[in-house]
């Protein structure tokens, strides 16, 4: 396809954004309005105008989106698109750190994931019945939120866990110890990767000059999901490179990670002479489906100024089914999909079910299994985060970084006779060595619980780091006996995962690159298996559904206490993010939208916060009955109209943790 053909497929709003000569732009693109097509077309347009592809950097939030954008640009332009880069913020930043490691004074470092962070916090927090500190996972959440939002530690505690604010000083001591532990072991966590790059972009003119010399244009996808730390990376680039951002403020649903959708609302004040374009013509859904999502946004006190209009003229009124309990609700969804497939000859893959969480999916999964409905769950276990896979990866990690004491502890405790205390002492001793040979010599002479074959295997792995698949096969073989004993209850199931990991390993040229990529961007088991089995139903969490769409979409559990979730009651910002979560779910449907709810409670009190803002207790309190076709599956007092009851109710800039 030529560029002219590509541009001819765009509507007037899209074409204006794609062909603009403005340096800095924000494209506000509603759900289904061609956001991805616009960013692809912009990249293709710039390259066709003579900008070398290697000077364009696309920043996305998922590996899948990055791959899709590059592939489609290459399909349009052919060889001239070679060299185009698309990656997540973390992958982009790690590439800069690796490329400029000497200039930035970085030594050898290993990227650790959340599980590793939690393990460190668990060790530092200590045990004991009288230990009142937050749990390790909570400490990790507080730490990461403070880093990503660039707020004080006390503010992060007040936001996430206000009941422990009186323990702020003790928490601060744990945070300090955590950072010391990272530095000693050569660890970088996710937040470090962004913070180090942001710091040097702001404080090192030479580093900034090197980055903008390579990257003349930045195209940023899902701008509404950026957090203050990510914005700090973009900010110094504005004076030197072009910034073209695409996003939808109504789809900002990652506030718990520190995402700030106000980055969109403040764009023009942050970026001098920026131009804003709007895309409001929806190519995905019918107007009746959009009427429901438009109504939902219209009930908010936040001025989204968004009313999507369907390009298609197809008529399709959404359905709303009411059940007495969640078991009947799940059973009906499974039965409906089964009937559509067997009686109407509809493919399995044309159906998608969107749930709040993996826990919320449990009854639907049971119903699918009972009716032999093939499905994949998106938002569940990440392949390389599974315990048995991480056990094997620990052996590979110490080959790359001998000071990785977390990996050493995991590897050592696989062997009978080595407990946590013993493993900790050995791991600390390993920190005194600088080479794997020294470590292996120590293990061979001092640690008789580890077989000679395993120690020799470590030496062999050190010579095979450019043969990643071979490393994986060798490590699995050396540890199979230990793993089979540890996971004997479901070993046959777990063992199959290693074939998938070997499949991923075969795509990489170096062991360090393989380990780093999947720590930064974990891949789900469903994603790996998808290429093998295509015709299956998609069951997904809403937070994993962005970018997805399907012909028939089911949104279950539209009950009081679910939308908004009970834990957000009275919190205006949290409730409004819940509204956006539901909006994302509603806008995934192409042809049919099927809503379901259970339980007899049909309304909830609304409140007013201390600023006088209306805080919804249940989004469907005033849901207009003429927007949907309602069916009650059991005689009940539920009323879909839902009565409402209300009650008043080089400047020195730091991207490190502020312990205040």
Binding residue ranges: 29-36
DSSP state of 517: H
Of 297, 256, 257, nearest to 584 by C-alpha is 297
Q: 578: closest CA among 533, 540, 616? A: 616
Closest Cα partner for 554 from 372, 347, 329?
Answer: 329
Other C-beta atoms lying within 10 Å of the C-beta of residue 421: 8
Q: What is the phi/psi pair of residue 635, to 5°?
A: -60, 125
3-state secondary structure of 276: strand
* Residue linked to tokens 């095979």: 464
Give the SS3 label for residue 110: strand
The two tokens of residue 321 are: 């089914």
Cα 232–chain centre separation: 20
> How many residues are there in the chain?
660
Tokens found for residue 488: 């004997």
CA-based nearest residue to 323, from 314, 313, 315, 333: 333
SS3 sequence, 448-511?
Answer: CCCCHHHHHHHHHHHCCCCCHHHHHHHHHHHHHHHHHHHCCCCHHHHHHHHHHHHHHHCCCCCH
Residue that has been written with the tokens 């059940």 in this structure: 323
Contact criterion met (CB below 8 Å) for 37 and 14:
yes
Alpha carbon distance 605, 597 (integer Å): 18
Residue tagged 């097509």 (tokens): 37
- β-sheet bridge partners, residue 28: 247, 278
Q: How far apart are CA 100 and CA 497, in angstroms?
A: 35
How many of the other CB atoms lie within 10 Å of CB of 225?
Answer: 26
Question: What stretch of H or E contains 187?
Answer: strand 187-188
Bond from prior residue into 88 cis (ω within 30 degrees of 0) = no
Helices (runs of H) and strands (runs of E) counted in the chain: 27, 19
Dihedrals φ, ψ of 246, to 5°?
Answer: -125, 135
Task: Find the helix packing angle between 153-160 and 136-149, rounded to 10°.
Answer: 120
Quote the tokens at residue 12. 């007037």
Pair 126, 109: CB distance under 8 Å: no
Binding-site annotation, residues for ATP: 29-36
How far is residue 617's CA from residue 579's CA, in Å, rounded to a whole number? 11
Give one word for 331, left, alpha or beta, with left for phi > 0 and alpha for psi -120 to 50: alpha
Contacts of 167 (CB under 8 A, 6+ apart): 132, 133, 134
Which candidate, 58, 36, 64, places its Cα nearest to that of 522? Answer: 64
């Amino acid at each position: 396809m030529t560029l002219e053909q590509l541009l001819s497929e765009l509507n007037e709003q899209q074409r204006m954004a794609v062909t603009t000569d403005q340096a800095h732009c924000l494209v506000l693109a509603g759900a289904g309005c061609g956001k991805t097509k616009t960013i692809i077309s912009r990249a293709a347009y710039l390259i066709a105008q003579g900008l070398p592809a290697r000077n364009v950097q696309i920043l996305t939030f998922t590996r899948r989106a990055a791959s899709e954008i590059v592939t489609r640009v290459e399909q349009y332009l052919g060889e001239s698109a070679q060299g185009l880069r698309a990656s997540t913020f973390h992958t982009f930043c790690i590439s800069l750190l690796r490329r400029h490691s000497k200039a930035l004074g970085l030594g050898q470092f290993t990227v650790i994931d959340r599980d590793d962070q939690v393990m460190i916090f668990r060790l530092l927090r200590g045990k004991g019945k009288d230990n009142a500190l937050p749990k390790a996972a909570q400490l990790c959440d507080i730490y990461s939120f403070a880093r990503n939002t660039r707020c004080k530690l006390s503010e992060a505690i007040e936001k996430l866990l206000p009941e422990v604010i009186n323990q702020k000083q003790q928490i601060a001591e744990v945070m300090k110890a955590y950072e010391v532990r990272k530095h000693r072991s050569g660890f970088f966590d996710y937040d470090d990767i962004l913070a180090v790059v942001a710091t040097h972009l702001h404080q090192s003119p030479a580093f900034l000059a090197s980055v903008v010399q390579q990257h003349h244009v930045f195209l940023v996808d899902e701008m509404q999901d950026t957090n203050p730390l990510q914005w700090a990376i973009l900010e110094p680039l504005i004076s030197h490179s072009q910034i073209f951002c695409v996003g939808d403020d109504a789809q900002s649903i990652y506030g718990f990670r520190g995402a700030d959708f106000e980055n969109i609302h403040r764009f023009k004040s942050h970026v001098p002479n920026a131009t804003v374009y709007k895309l409001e013509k929806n190519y995905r859904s019918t107007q009746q489906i959009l009427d429901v999502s438009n109504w939902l946004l219209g009930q908010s006190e936040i001025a989204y100024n968004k009313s999507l209009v369907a390009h298609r003229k197809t008529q399709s009124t959404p359905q709303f089914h009411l059940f007495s309990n969640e078991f009947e609700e799940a059973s009906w969804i499974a039965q409906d999909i089964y009937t559509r497939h067997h009686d109407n000859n509809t493919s399995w893959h044309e159906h998608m079910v969107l749930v709040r969480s993996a826990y919320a999916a449990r009854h639907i999964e049971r119903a699918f299994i009972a009716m032999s409905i093939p499905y994949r769950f998106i938002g569940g276990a990440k392949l390389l985060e599974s315990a048995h896979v991480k056990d094997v990866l620990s052996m590979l990690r110490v080959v790359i970084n001998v000071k990785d004491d977390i990996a050493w502890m995991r590897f050592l405790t696989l062997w009978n006779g080595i407990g946590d205390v013993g493993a900790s002492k050995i791991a600390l001793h390993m920190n005194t060595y600088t080479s794997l040979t020294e470590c292996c010599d120590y293990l061979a002479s001092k640690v008789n619980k580890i077989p000679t074959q395993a120690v020799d295997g470590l030496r062999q792995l050190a010579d095979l780091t450019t043969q990643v698949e071979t490393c994986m096969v060798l490590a699995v073989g050396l540890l199979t006996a230990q793993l089979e004993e540890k996971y004997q209850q479901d070993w046959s199931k777990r063992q199959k995962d290693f074939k998938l990991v070997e499949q991923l390993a075969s795509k990489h040229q170096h062991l360090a690159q393989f380990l780093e990529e999947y720590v930064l961007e974990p891949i789900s088991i469903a994603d790996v298996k998808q290429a093998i089995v295509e015709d299956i139903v998609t069951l997904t969490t809403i937070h994993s559904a962005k970018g997805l769409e399907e012909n028939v979409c089911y949104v279950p559990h539209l009950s009081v206490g679910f939308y908004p979730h009970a834990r957000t009651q009275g919190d205006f910002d949290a409730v409004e993010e819940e509204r956006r979560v539901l909006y994302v779910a509603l806008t995934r449907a192409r042809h049919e939208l099927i809503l379901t709810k259970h339980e007899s409670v049909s309304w909830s009190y609304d409140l007013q916060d201390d600023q006088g803002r209306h805080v919804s207790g249940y989004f469907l309190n005033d849901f207009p009955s003429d927007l949907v076709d309602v069916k009650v599956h059991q005689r009940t007092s539920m009323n879909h109209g839902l009565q409402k009851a209300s009650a008043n109710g080089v400047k020195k800039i730091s991207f490190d943790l502020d312990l205040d």
